[in-house]
Amino acid sequence: MGKLSVGVLGATGTVGQKLITLLDEHPFFEVRELVASERSAQKPYREACNWKQETFIPRAVAELVVKSTDEPLESKILFSGLDSSVAGPVEENYAKAGHIVISNSKNHRMEPDVPLVIPEVNHDHLDLTKVQKRKGALITNSNCSTMFLAMVLAPIQREFGIEAVHVTTMQAVTGAGYPGVASMDILGNVIPYIASEEEKMESETLKILGTLAGDHVIPADFKVSAQCNRVAVYDGHTETLSIKLRKRATPADLRACLEAFRGLPQELRLPTAPERPIIVFDEVDRPQPARDVWKERGMAACVGRIRPCPVFDVKMVIMGHNTIRGAAGAAILNGETYLKKGYLD
C-alpha cells in the first residue's frame, strides 16, 4: 500500500514548517500539496518560505508550487498550521469540500461537533466526525499549554478523581510564532499575559477530559484556574500544578499512576507516538526545558517534583515541547490515529 497524499495549510508559517519537517519520510503520509497566503502562492516553496527550522527544507517539497487558500486540493487529509486570523473559514471550506482537516488553530476547538483530541486520552471523541454536517471533517488538537496539562491530568482523573486544579505557566517564546515577542520586551523579563491563553486552558482541558455523549462532549466536572506567563525560553512550556483530589493519594501513588500511563497510540505503535507519553523525574530540579524538552523526540509530557500541597492535595511541575507535542506533532499523531482506527475505510 502506497503512502497517503496529504496537504499542509499555512505551509510557510512556524507550525507549517514544523509539520513539513515531521512529515518528511513519514511511513504513512507524503506531502504533495502546500497552501499559504496569496503572497506566497504560485511560487516554489523554497522561494515562498522563510525557512527557520534546524534542518534543511526537505527535497521532496522544496520545488512544490504553493497554492492559495481558495484553490481546490486533491489530498484527502490536510494538516493545518494556519494562523487563527484566517483559519476558521478556510478550514471550514476544505472540510465541506470533503477533506479531513486536522487543525492546530483555536477556531473550531470548542464547537460541539468538533473533536478536540489527545489520542492517548480521548481518541473515542473522533467519533464526532461521524455526526458532522460536512462532506469531510474537522479535527483539532489543543492549545500547546493545554496539551501537557490534560495529558498529566487524564490518568489522575481516572484513578483518583479531581475536584480542582490551579496551574501557572511559563511559556516559551516559540509559542508566539515567528518573529514572536520583541527582544526588548522579553529579554530579562517575564510577561504576565498571553491573550486568551488562560481561557483556552480552562475550557479546553475540560472538553478533552469530558465524556462523549453522541453528538457532543459533556465537559469534565471540575474547575481549572490558569495563570499564563511568557518567559525568555526558546522551546518548552513549563507549568506548575496544584491539584485537589476526590480520593486520597500519596505522591508515590501519583508517580506510579503517571509512570504507567499508556494509550492507543502506544498500543498501535504509531510512528509519531512516544513510547512513554509521560516521563516522571526523581531529581529535585527536573524537568528543565534546556535538558528535557527533546525527550521522546519532543512528544512526551515531563513531570517532576510531585509532593504534598498544603492548600490542595498534591503539587508538581510539568513541561513539554510546545511546537512538537503541543502543535505539529500532536496534529500528525491525530492523523495517524484517525487513519489506523479505520475512519477512512
pLDDT exceeds cutoff 80 at 47: yes
What is the spatial distance between Cα 300 and Cα 22, in angstroms, rounded to a whole number? 15
Q: What's the mean pLDDT in 157-181?
A: 96
CATH topology of domain 4-143+328-340: Rossmann fold (3.40.50)
**63-95 per-position pLDDT tens digit:** 999 999 999 999 999 999 999 999 999 999 999
Calculate mean pLDDT across residues 265-282: 98
* Cβ contacts of 183 within 8 Å, gap of 6 or more: none
Mean pLDDT of 282-305: 98
Instruction: List the domain boundaries for the chain.
Output: 4-143+328-340, 144-322
- CATH number (3.90.226.10, 3.30.360.10, 2.60.120.20, 3.40.50.970) of 144-322 reads 3.30.360.10
List pLDDT tens digits, range 57-66: 999 999 999 9
Residues taking part in catalysis: 144, 237
- pLDDT beyond 90 at 23: yes
Q: Is the pLDDT of residue 29 over 80?
A: yes
> What count of other Cβ atoms lies within 10 Å of the Cβ of residue 268?
15
CA distance 186 to 284: 27
Q: Is the pLDDT of residue 177 over 80?
A: yes
pLDDT tens-digit readout, 123-140: 999 999 999 999 999 999
In the chain, what percentage of residues exceed pLDDT 70?
Answer: 100
Beta 217-218 vs 211-212: how paired, if at all?
antiparallel
Each residue of 246-259: pLDDT tens digit?
Answer: 999 999 999 999 99
Predicted local distance difference test score (pLDDT) of residue 205: 98
Structure confidence at residue 1 (pLDDT): 61
- Per-residue model confidence (pLDDT) at position 2: 86
Q: What band does 277 get if pLDDT is binned at 50, 70 and 90?
A: very high
Average pLDDT, the chain: 97
Tell me the pTM.
Answer: 0.97
